[in-house]
Each structure stands twice: as structure tokens, then as C-alpha cells.
Structure 1
């Protein structure tokens, strides 16, 4: 058995995985990772990336460049031109990121699910009853980014982004093991609420959720980086018009994006829990009238 296979077998033991990735000083480790990942020392960089490859399925063959200044530079890498083109069909809401599809379905009685049998409140997630009303009969899909994936996320549709709300919180791991054990996990973790409107006026909301080792969230259209050290206003008004496929920002490690979509869109046939989806691939479709 290879070293990577031994590590995978070791970490797949749920009790041990949960202990190693949650029962530790989560916030302190996350702050440290934010600092450490930006160290531009060749030895530190090469050792960190080699260790990362050992613990994951990291593949840098799609990266635009082959040399990185730091671990952070590798985390937030761009891809070669022409990759991850957004679905051109105007009836399609595209996936905003590379991800593993998690819980998804209709929003019923203001509730969503983080895993089967583990509901949480849309109001607890968003903290705004008016926004909850806009999504009361909508759909949701949970997209989990692993550490080795492409970490940038893009506009899933032509939209007008009106406001971003930063909600401070914890940094629990967001893997399936933690989701089964920590109630309302997404409502406890640090997150941002990106409020947007589609051309026809329907609400489309993206909720990037931080996790352990996720040091920050970069939003290009606001020209800011949000993290646990962000102070001042928690609401950022904006007037950003984006086209489907435009780059919105990046995570500085793997995490989760919850997509809240209008109720008049249906899930595409490729959407199934546990399957991988790439940024730009079809996620929801507006049926023809």
C-alpha cells in the first residue's frame, strides 16, 4: 500500500478525522495558515506543496503558470486560458466553482439541509428576513470545494450584485464527517452573503462559507479581502454588474458555496449528490414556457 493510500485510510476513520480537523485551536490555526501560506521562501514553498500533494489529489496541470511564489500563490492559482467556460445557454445557471455537489433541493418552510436529516434555517444562515422571503420557494445547492481544487469562483449568471454581508463566526471543517456531527454548521461558520438580482429581477444569492484553514475571501468587485480580522461595516453596498463566467474572487483554501436560486429554475440532469462539477458547467435550468 502506498503512503498516500495509508494516509487516506487513516483519515477516513470518522472519529479520528473529526478529532484531527475540529478538536484543535481552529481559529488560531486558521490565522497561522493565513500567515504561513504567504511565506515566499523556496524551501517552505516546495515542502508545503509536496506535503499538500501527499495528502490530496492536487493536480497542477491546468494551472496557468508552473512556478509559484508561495503556497498561497498556488492555492489561488489561475487556470490556462479557455478552461472553465460558462455554459452559454441563457436558460442555464452555471456552477460558480469546481466542487463536489452536496445537499440540494427545494427550500421548504424556510429550511435547507446540510446532510440528510440535518436541517438548518435559512434565516439563521442569512440573518435577513427580507432576503429569506425572496428565497422562500426557491432552490438550494451546496457546493464543497476540496483543498486541491481550483479555488476561484465565478458569476453563475448575468447579474447585478447589490450588497455583500460579512457574518463573523467559527471555522469548523465543512467535510461530510463534520456536517453529520455539528448541527447548523453553516450557520455557525464565518460566511459572506452575496446578494444579486438576475436580469428578470429574481434573487440569486451566493453564500461562501469559510472553514478551518480558510484564511480569507477575496472579492474583486469590492476590491477587498474579508476574514476574521475584518472590522468596520459588516454590510458593503455595491453596484456591480457581472456577466456569467466573470471571476468574482477566490478562497484561500477549500470551502463551500451555498447557491440560493429562484424557484422557477430546475436542477440539471448532471446534478447529483456526491458527484463532481466544474466551474461553468450547468447547475440549474429555466424551463421553456
Structure 2
């Protein structure tokens, strides 16, 4: 069986769902976290070679080309200039490299993870967060595949004001699972990052959602790594001024970021389900 045939076999919907969800997800995720941090260059090379059998991993724009661990490869930095940040102050940029999932206007407080699978914004944000500023607003689901660049950045000049951590499950967040598991994003481990833009004082929110093998999130504004065994405070006020394109943190692997903006923000041309976007490109446009 050649590589392409092997990929097609593993990507069959029923088999993919079985392999990634009908397993002890949390235990497997913790095990993967420990394995990825083993410092062994030869083990890292072997793991990356296996990884490439199933993905289109491209390390040509990575700042370093040799990795002491799989974790170093997952969280790699890029060479300077590898991404261009749109300088237009009316542009709200993508915080990450991604494939666009469901997007558009929030219907009151209801949005979709996949066609026919609605969920409530308030449940995603958790009981302590006020989601009313985004009622009838605009949202975009950004899916980071395992092969993508996993760091995420400020979409605009802003002030990061609060982070809420919500523990949970680690369902896969690929399209196959999103079409089968109701309210999946509300079940998984996630964080809610609340920000206020310097231009217009608009509130925005980024909701990074964990997935199988990737229940770990690191934020620069808080000297803490959020993960399944985290036992610190769930509510973390902060006061960090960030510039457009400035790195906010990273995932340990591929996952999802759901972006929320209030009513009046418009999706950029070409932002539709299935489109690919890079960090720094236009995602939305601010109101006049």
C-alpha cells in the first residue's frame, strides 16, 4: 500500500471517527503530551517522518530545521517575514494559519459547528462570561490542522483583559466529528480570551478549543500553561497591550480558534467554509 492509499484508508469517515474518538481520548492526549516532550533528536526525526505519512507537513518556513523533540516541531516559530500582517487599520486579521469552518452572522445567540449542528454562544463561553456583546455579531471558526503553524497572534491592536479556562473533553474537532457530535465545541477543553480593540473600543473574543492529542495551550500574557491537569484559577484577569500580529501563544498541536466580533463587522471577501487563510491576512473588516 503506497502513502496516498494509506492516507485514503485512514481518512475514511467511519474509520477516522473510530480511530480518533472511540478511544480513551483524555488518557491518550496526556500520553501524547509526555511523549512529545522526550528530548531525543533521532526519535523526533522518526516521529516527524511518520507524521509526514499522514499529513502535508511543510517545514520550509520554520526558523529551525532540527528538533530535539516532537514538541519543538509542533510549536515551531517561523523565519522572520514568513507571514505578512495586513497594515490597513480597518482590517481585522486572521490570528492563525487555518482552514475556515462555519462562519457568518450569529443568529441571536445561536451559531453552527456544522450544517444542522447548532450550539449556543453562552454555553461555549461558560457561566462566568457575558456573551451579549456578540449577540447578532459575526463569527469565524478557524481549524488548524496538525501540519500547520500552531502559534496564534493578535488580530488587531488591542488590550487583552481576561482569560477564562474551561476544562473538558478532547473530542477530535475535524469535520467528520463536527457532523456527528452535538455541541462538540462546548464539551471540549477551551479558553475564552476577551480583548478590546484600540480602534473604536470594540470588544472581541478568541476561543481556542482543544482536541484529542492537543489539550494544552500556552499564553504569553499569563505565565501559565493551560492543560488537562491544570489546577490553578479558572478566571485570570490580565492587562496586556498587544500590537496587531504580535504573538499571543500557541497550541501544542492542531486545533480550532473561534473568533467573535460584535455586530457591524463584515467577513472579508473569500472567507467562506473550506477557504485557506494565513495568519495576518484579512479575516474581517471593522465598521466604518
- Does the 8 Å CA contact 1:210/1:256 hold for their aligned counterparts? yes
- Unpaired stretches in structure 1, ≥5 consecutive residues: none
3-state SS, counterpart of residue 264 of structure 2? coil
- Does the 8 Å CA contact 1:123/1:129 hold for their aligned counterparts? no
3-state SS, counterpart of residue 194 of structure 1? strand
d(CA) in 2 for partners of 1:215, 1:67? 25
Which residue does the alignment assign to 1:262?
262
1:221 Cα deviation after fit: 1.1
d(CA) in 2 for partners of 1:59, 1:43? 19
Which residue does the alignment assign to 1:203?
203
1:68 matched to 2:78? The reply is no
Q: Which sits farther off after the overlay, 163-172 or 85-94?
A: 85-94
Which residue does the alignment assign to 1:185?
184
What is the TM-score of this pair, normalised by structure 2?
0.97
Which residue does the alignment assign to 1:99?
98
1:162 Cα deviation after fit: 0.8
d(CA) in 1 for partners of 2:135, 2:41? 51
Which residue does the alignment assign to 2:146?
147
3-state SS, counterpart of residue 131 of structure 2? helix
d(CA) in 2 for partners of 1:287, 1:207? 22
- Unpaired stretches in structure 2, ≥5 consecutive residues: none
Tell me: CA distance 1:106–1:19, structure 2 relative to 1, closer, same or farther (3 Å). Answer: same
Which residue does the alignment assign to 1:222?
222
d(CA) in 2 for partners of 1:235, 1:220? 16
- Does the 8 Å CA contact 1:268/1:283 hold for their aligned counterparts? yes
- Please list, as runs of the form range in 1=range in 2, the aligned pairs for 1:218-257 lying within 5 A after superposition: 218-257=218-257
3-state SS, counterpart of residue 179 of structure 2? helix
Query: Displaced runs of 4+ in structure 1, greater than 3 A?
Result: none
1:45 Cα deviation after fit: 1.0
What is the TM-score of this pair, normalised by structure 1?
0.97
d(CA) in 2 for partners of 1:172, 1:118? 15
Deviations 1:151-182 (A, max 9, x none): 00000011111110000000000000000000
d(CA) in 2 for partners of 1:8, 1:275? 22
Tell me: CA distance 1:215–1:120, structure 2 relative to 1, closer, same or farther (3 Å). Answer: closer
Deviations 1:30-81 (A, max 9, x none): 0001100011112311110100111100000000111111100001000010
- Please list, as runs of the form range in 1=range in 2, the aligned pairs for 1:70-149 lying within 5 A after superposition: 70-128=69-127, 131-149=130-148
Tell me: CA distance 1:57–1:127, structure 2 relative to 1, closer, same or farther (3 Å). Answer: same
- Does the 8 Å CA contact 2:189/2:215 hold for their aligned counterparts? no
Deviations 1:162-221 (A, max 9, x none): 110000000000000000000000000000000111122221000000000004101011
The number of equivalent residue pairs is 287
Alignment RMSD (CA, Å): 1.2
Which residue does the alignment assign to 2:54?
55
3-state SS, counterpart of residue 152 of structure 2? strand
